[in-house]
Amino acid sequence: MTAGRGALQAVVALASIVPLSVAAISLARGPVWMGQAAPVATDLDSHFRYLSGIFLALGLGFASCIPGIERKGPRLRLLGALVIAGGLGRAWSFIQVGAPSAGHLGGLGIELGLVPIVLAWQAVLARRTSSLPPRPRSGQA
**Tens-place pLDDT, residues 52-88:** 999 999 999 999 999 999 999 999 999 999 999 999 9
Spatial distance between the Cα atoms of 46 and 14, rounded to a whole number of angstroms: 28
Confidence of residue 135 (pLDDT cuts 50, 70, 90): low
Count Cβ atoms below 10 Å from residue 16 Cβ, excluding itself.
19
- Return the pLDDT at 2: 54
* pLDDT tens digit sequence for 83-120: 999 999 999 999 999 999 999 999 999 999 999 999 99
Report pTM. Answer: 0.86
Spatial CA neighbour of 18 closest among 108, 98, 123: 108
